[in-house]
Structure 1
Amino acid sequence: MAETPTLSPPPRPADSAETQAETQIGTRAGLAAEALVPESLAPESLAPESLAPAMPPEAPLAMPVQDLARWDPGLGHRPSRPHRRPWLARAFVFGGAALLTGYGALQMYETVSVSGGTTALQYVLLALFTLNFSWIALAFTGAILGFLVLLRRPRPGPRPARLASRTAVVMPVYNEATARTFAGIEAMRESVEATGLGAHFDWFVLSDSTQGDAWIAEERAFLALRARLGPEARLYYRHRPKNHHRKAGNIGDFVSRWGGAYDHMLVLDADSLMTGDCVVALAAAMEADPDSGIIQSLPLIINRNTLFARVQQFAARIYGPVIATGLSVWSGRDGNYWGHNAIIRTRAFAQACGLPDLTGRPPFGGHVLSHDFVEAALIRRAGWAVTMLPTLPGSYEESPPSLIDVAVRDRRWAQGNLQHSRIIGAAGLTFASRQHFATGIAGYVASPLWLAQLVVGIALVLQTAYVRPEYFTSEFGLYPVFPRFDPVRALQLFGLTMGILLAPKGLGLILALIDGPVRRACGGAIRLLLSSLIEILLSALIAPIAMLIQSGSVFQILVGRDTGWNPQRRDDGSIPWRDIVRRHRWHMVLGLITGVAAFAIATSLFLWMSPTILGLVLAIPISWASGQLGLGLALKRRGLLMTPEERASPPIALRAGALEARNAETGLDAADALAALHADAPLAAAHARMLPPGAARPRGRIDPERTLAQAKVVEAETLPEAQAWLTPKERMALLHDRALLDRLARLRP
């Protein structure tokens, strides 16, 4: 086992100075702030788990900010042995995609130039088609590669018998439901302990919560779980006063302050679940490859019941492995990182992944929003490998329950990926890292390009129907030039495009059909085929809605509108009808206008655009249906959209569900933070102990939230008055201040 550095906690500022500073502030308001913890909350009255430090001693690790404009290869890690790049796989994927794109572009040119001449508008259509076709061609060739690999049905190796390293399992949280997050942590810890190798793992909940009720609920859940697990649980909790740089800053703060004590860190999301075997296998894979910086698992979606979420769950399980395996093979050691369910070499991360702020204002400037792609590129630049284990079982996550919830998350992802246009040219990046950036950017630019292609196509049909033929062209001809299409070739090209678009789904379906256990778990061949058909039809109806949503997001970003960072809604449940109508009314109106116009221009145009028109016209009922629990469960009862993990739930998912139900009964997430602290003196003292050391306020610098909170809590005589008067930001200021917490404790109930 790797020796752990023994470091003393950093020196605390002198209590006299801290107390003096707080007394100076509190005296003006008549506060008795000289005692940081009231006499009634004396340490001897607390339970032992409340007195234990919430975090281990700090083990600092330098994390310098990286320079994107310059890079010296000599500063990076030198691999212990040479590693071969997968040139043959890359030639197949990118060469095949280039050939397909060239063929498709040629066919489109032949389609639009049948009249003997090509107009400027037709050239625009050709360019848009070529860009869109190249995107799906690359996905097609990558899926073929993944299909060929998975045909051999690779099996995971045996569980390692021993480990020699220490790993910190870190779960960043941001205003999440504690019943779910702490159930996940407890279930994963139990599973890892069952492997017999639990001593190699410490568990951290890293909070960036900005809501007072969520913060105190986290502390209560942490103290309760630590009390159940006992003093040797190696379970820790830290709340940051300011969520600087959001999740990237949260992880960076942990690495720079405690990272020196750990060889690796396993990064989770609040909805992550990983079996003990999976966690141990990742740690063993990192030990076996001293040149690895990141090893990414493929998380499968589980526990989803709404219609939309179950469609996503089915697609991720049946089609996802084909695409991910192809990506893993051609990427090789130049892989990507998805921000969670991955293990990272801590010192490599500290050395290479200090993210700089980009110049300018958001959305393209400021802190890096989608940090995971950038961290993978920088750690690869520094000489460490980034690999993926797409066939490793036991890695799970959840997904948003409805179309609107996905759109909210997608808006943030769109901004983060478009922001990568500022980073794709950074010095020293590998070709594959730049390709990962390009793929992410193209994933969002594709929607406005598709929309532009539809608009140009309609304009060309209008031109054909209403514009007079050009009798006097630049080239002499006996007949007038009509801007028309070759209908037979156009139909063939449409069939080719749809075939390439749907091929990855077909390949994943074939693998599921020939895999007996998977086929039976999905309800048999007939139900599996019907489920795939349902997924394709629903995806086709949702696609035009998603196109407009993403196009709107891209437009907002280009005109400078920044997105916020709202917590993701993870529970199953519908959205109020009025919110659905407000979100999709213009989609429906646009669909109606497009349908009437297309029918008026030409029946053939209407039929060609009917899938897009139908999806937009039905946008409101489709979005409503997407979040309906009843519709998803009805399909589940009939054995449709089933996955193997749904037919036989993984034991860790069942355990996490039972723990979540138990945690929910405590009502921590619904409790008022001020009331909880006021009623529970040991909790209030434990909360005060977990706060960072106080610092003297610089003269002349006034914190308005803290000042207003102080004035209100001083004037209040009862707890209900303080609850009614304090705003959310003022509550957070109070919860960060020991003197104001003391005053809160003195209020009458």
Structure 2
Amino acid sequence: MDQLMGDGAATRSSAVDFDDPIVPPERPLLMPIQSLTGWSRKRAKRKPQKPTKSTLAARAFVTLVTIALTVFATYEMINVVAVTSVTWLQMLFAALFAITFLWIALPCASAILGFIRLVRGGGAGAPPVTPGPLGRNVLVMPVYNEDPTRTCDALRQMGRALDDAGASEAFDIFILSDTRDDKVARQEEAAFYQLRTALSPDIAVYYRRRAQNTGRKAGNIADFVRRWGGCYDHMIVLDADSMMSGETLIYLARRMFLDPDAGIIQTVPMLAGRSTLFARMQQFATRVYGPIIAEGLAAWHGRQSNFWGHNAIIRTRAFAESAGMPELPGRKPFGGHIMSHDFVEAALMVRSGWAVYMIPELKGSFEECPPSLIDLAGRDRRWAQGNLQHMKVIGAKGLATMSRVHLLVGIMSYLASPLWFAMLTIGLILATQAHFTHPDYFPEGFSLFPHWPVFDSERALQLFGFTMGILLFPKVLGVVAMLLDPKARQACGGGLAIVLGMIAETLLSALIAPVMMILQTRWVMEIVMGRDSGWNAQRRDDGSMPFGAILSNHYGQMILGLAMAAAAFAVSIDTFLWLAPVTLGLVLAAFLSWLTAQAWAGLAFRKARLFLIPEEVEPASPR
């Protein structure tokens, strides 16, 4: 499964016969640049979307559970580090713990809510819609130096599915190329003509390549809207690795047509189509844990939800009038074009009174995940910069509180790593201080009782178990929910395969997490120092890298892991064991990265019936 990306101003290829147009006649829509500082609710054409009682109740539940878990854990941590007096270093340690714990308590609370909703719903499908008009729709495929054969194959399958369902006349296909490589561009043009020939004449297929990829993907979509947006009621934005079933495409078009307040309806794409061990564990995780997470998010987001940039339907005119991307002031990496534009587009549309919501029960939406840890890191570096840019957006005038929460969660998803690393470092310093500083049991002045060292090891062990429970609880709930659904259980290989898969995925994820912590900490530091991520095409195949190349990417983390382990061991065996879950993953970083990038390792797990997904158990394929 693979598609493409893009951005900017358009041209026609000189090789095209103008009697056989590759673009339709233009029907422009105005798409004004939105202000982040000068917006006024009085000038808004629509009233803001008000949350329902059920949405407010869901938000209250998630907020109270998150706060309760965080307060309890922080209280316990304060008691762990300060049995008698409290130093500023201990308070800093406890404060960092509270912040990092908050960001594991929030998804746990959301997962609990999602589990309750999913079990109560009994596996009900997407809300029904009455038969009716679909409106004029277009599948928009932005591409950037992608494999045209793979992209057009996905579009061909979607086009044929629409034709088989009798809905081909309601949909067009538009490939929006931002490709800079002329050789790839020629291949794109050839693949476009083959795609047009392969599909029914009822489905119009168009292709446009921009001369300048200004604004990257957001600019690519904006250029399309400003030139051809008036041709379509709705656009379904795809990504370079997207695949959607014909039934899902038709459902989205009908749902959007029947809901005049809807601006964006987001599906929850499932990961599929990869063979490496790294990809297969991610695919398994989205199938087992994803449903309760999505249900929980949908419940408390309500109609002020988020947009993930693809596999969603958008009301074209609403998008044009509300979501013109401004440039952020200042120099890169914090200034310039907004890289993680999807969060901001959703926030701007909600600000203008349009509903943005997801339908977690809707199936038939797929994407691919990166085949290796290194590929994930390359993509995550761009996302880190894009999310940290949102610090200049979160205070924009008129944004809904929920939109600010989405932006804050995105920001903290990357700041949490340096905070976690800082907490571990301070914890190691405190442990060293407690071990090597001679305790003054009877300080000057009257004291009936001695002042003992400042760590309560028994309480620390209990807190560690509680923290691990909060981390694992969403996974356990996801497994329980799947075991309670006979159809879903069989689709993932049966109950035993699911339980063993969860154990294997948890162990691998626990080893990989410290590596990502160090990588994200490094990226945050680079961004703060002014280093831009650039824009490179993603690797879409399952090919591995030589071990030497992998080692060159991870040797720094391995050295750091060895240094932390040695320092902890010099303090005490207890400190060494406390840090072992972190240091072990770092020391094994290169080996883990190499092993999980191997297709043979993924296939070995499949042969053992681990990390199975429905597309492997059942004949049907997402592609």
How much has 1:233 moved relative to structure 2?
A: 3.2
Aligned 8 A contact 2:518 2:557 in 1: yes
Q: 1:150 aligns with which of 100, 112, 118?
A: 118
How much has 1:457 moved relative to structure 2?
A: 0.7
Partner of 2:79: 110
Partner of 2:373: 403
**Structure 1 residues 214-613: aligned runs within 5 Å:** 214-229=184-199, 231-470=201-440, 477-478=447-448, 481-613=451-583
Q: What's the CA shift string for 1:556-593, capped at 9, x where partnerless?
A: 01111111111111111111222111100111111112
In the superposition, relative to structure 1, how do residues 160 and 629 fare at CA in structure 2: closer, same or farther (>3 Å)?
farther
Aligned 8 A contact 2:160 2:199 in 1: no
Partner of 2:8: none
Larger radius of gyration between Structure 1 and Structure 2: 1
Which SS does the other structure have where 2:361 is aligned?
Answer: coil
Partner of 1:56: 24
Q: Does 1:93 align with 2:62?
A: yes
| Structure 1 letter corresponding to 2:31 | M
How much has 1:640 moved relative to structure 2?
A: 0.7
How much has 1:453 moved relative to structure 2?
A: 0.9
How much has 1:476 moved relative to structure 2?
A: 5.6
Q: Does 1:615 align with 2:615?
A: no
Which SS does the other structure have where 2:374 is aligned?
Answer: helix
Q: Larger deviation: 84-93 or 70-79?
A: 70-79
Aligned 8 A contact 1:585 1:620 in 2: yes
How much has 1:322 moved relative to structure 2?
A: 1.1
What percent of counterpart residues are identical? 50
Q: 2:137 aligns with which of 147, 167, 170?
A: 167
Partner of 2:3: none
Aligned 8 A contact 1:306 1:401 in 2: yes
Aligned 8 A contact 2:129 2:255 in 1: no
Which SS does the other structure have where 2:175 is aligned?
Answer: strand
Aligned 8 A contact 2:49 2:353 in 1: no
How much has 1:601 moved relative to structure 2?
A: 1.1
Partner of 1:665: none
Aligned 8 A contact 1:77 1:384 in 2: no
Aligned 8 A contact 1:594 1:613 in 2: yes
Aligned 8 A contact 2:171 2:203 in 1: no
| Structure 1 letter corresponding to 2:548 | R
Count of residues paired in the alignment? 609
In the superposition, relative to structure 1, how do residues 476 and 297 fare at CA in structure 2: closer, same or farther (>3 Å)?
farther
Aligned 8 A contact 1:335 1:386 in 2: yes
Partner of 1:636: 606
| Structure 1 letter corresponding to 2:62 | V
Q: Larger deviation: 217-226 or 416-425?
A: 217-226
Aligned 8 A contact 2:441 2:452 in 1: no
How much has 1:135 moved relative to structure 2?
A: 0.8
Q: Hey, what's the Cα distance between the residues in 2 that align with 1:526 and 1:475? A: 64
Aligned 8 A contact 2:80 2:455 in 1: yes
Q: What's the CA shift string for 1:147-181, capped at 9, x where partnerless?
A: 11111222225575442411111010000001110
Which SS does the other structure have where 1:71 is aligned?
Answer: coil
Aligned 8 A contact 1:173 1:205 in 2: yes
In the superposition, relative to structure 1, how do residues 76 and 466 fare at CA in structure 2: closer, same or farther (>3 Å)?
same
How much has 1:75 moved relative to structure 2?
A: 2.9
Q: Hey, what's the Cα distance between the residues in 1 that align with 2:457 and 2:360? A: 43
Q: Does 1:125 align with 2:93?
A: yes
| Structure 2 letter corresponding to 1:128 | L
Which SS does the other structure have where 1:168 is aligned?
Answer: strand
**Structure 1 vs Structure 2 CA RMSD:** 1.9
Q: Larger deviation: 587-596 or 268-277?
A: 587-596
Q: Hey, what's the Cα distance between the residues in 2 that align with 1:465 and 1:516? A: 54
| Structure 1 letter corresponding to 2:56 | W
Q: Hey, what's the Cα distance between the residues in 1 that align with 2:238 and 2:619? A: 20
Q: What's the CA shift string for 1:214-233, capped at 9, x where partnerless?
A: 11110010012213336543
Q: Does 1:76 align with 2:35?
A: no
* Structure 2 runs not aligned, ≥5 long: 1-10
When the two structures are superposed, what TM-score results if normalisation uses the length of structure 2?
0.95
| Structure 2 letter corresponding to 1:514 | L
In the superposition, relative to structure 1, how do residues 382 and 432 fare at CA in structure 2: closer, same or farther (>3 Å)?
same
Which SS does the other structure have where 1:130 is aligned?
Answer: helix
Which SS does the other structure have where 1:51 is aligned?
Answer: coil
Aligned 8 A contact 2:163 2:200 in 1: no
| Structure 1 letter corresponding to 2:67 | A
| Structure 2 letter corresponding to 1:409 | R
